[in-house]
Amino acid sequence: MTALTELFARTRAEGRAALIGYLPAGFPSVEGAIDAMRAMVEGGVDAIEVGLPYSDPLLDGPTIQEAVDRALQAGSTTQDVLDTVHAVAVTGVPTMVMSYWNPIEKYGVASFARDLADAGGAGVITADITPEEAGEWLKASRAENLDRIFLVAPSSTDQRIALTTSAGSGFVYAAAVMGVTGARTEVAPAARELVGRTRAATSLPICVGLGVSSGRQAAEIAQYADGVIVGSAFVRAMLDAESAAEGVDRVRELARDLRSGVAHGSRNR
């Protein structure tokens, strides 16, 4: 049993959705990111995605791109990502890496899997690789008992959803919208339908991300999904802060608002 399997078993027993938060490693600094992620946990986030900064983030909107650029300009490395995972995982929450494929391949697929497992990592969300192309990663991650989280989107056919979910583990990342990441004022109407189609293909937990920015939106998604994923809103809270300390306070408060929303929505399942 993996850390993510245990998490979703617990949240299901509690009758609620899980709250998952994202921040890139190295922003505003390595230690600053760790402090912010720990604050997110204090605010009620159940699992953390540690973003691996990459120079060509095809799926990331301007908010996350700005933070990633700052991390790269400051010299953020893959080792910093692994160190961040270790520092956050000791809080007891499942800690994943969110990454594009190129940095993992450059690091060495088997080496990355081994070093992530040694750091206490729970798995990897691979943003730009399909199961058909992921043979080396499937082998390496299984050897280290790491979960493999793939994405499905509103444009995914039922056949594609079945193929993707059969190769994954931990949970399925259901992208609520087509396009890049970024906070939005409303939950995309396609999200609920996508969750329903995905649930017909797998018993894995299904988590909805892309665009969630408030407790109200989190409550809406928690009514039908197993997890709510929030990224850009946490990053924006850090970007808008006048100091790293203020950023930590802002993400903690945002986490509390989102957790409250998740709890409210879960009661209306």
- The answer to whether 67 and 22 have CB atoms below 8 angstroms apart is no
CA distance 174 to 181: 13
243: left (phi over 0), alpha (psi -120 to 50) or beta: beta
What is the spatial distance between Cα 219 and Cα 76, in angstroms, rounded to a whole number? 35
Helix (H) or strand (E) holding 256: helix 244-266
CB crowding 176-212: b at 16 or more within 10 Å, else e: bbeebbbbbeebbebbbebbebbbebbebbbbbbbbb
Tell which residue, 176, 233, 239, 172, has the closest CA to residue 207. 172
Q: Which helix (H) or strand (E) holds 162?
A: helix 158-167
Q: Which residues are catalytic?
A: 49, 60
Q: Tell me the one-letter amino acid at 161.
A: I
Token match 């609520």: residue?
Answer: 176
CA angle (142, 144, 150) in 5-degree steps: 50
The answer to whether 123 touches 168, Cβ cutoff 8 Å, is no
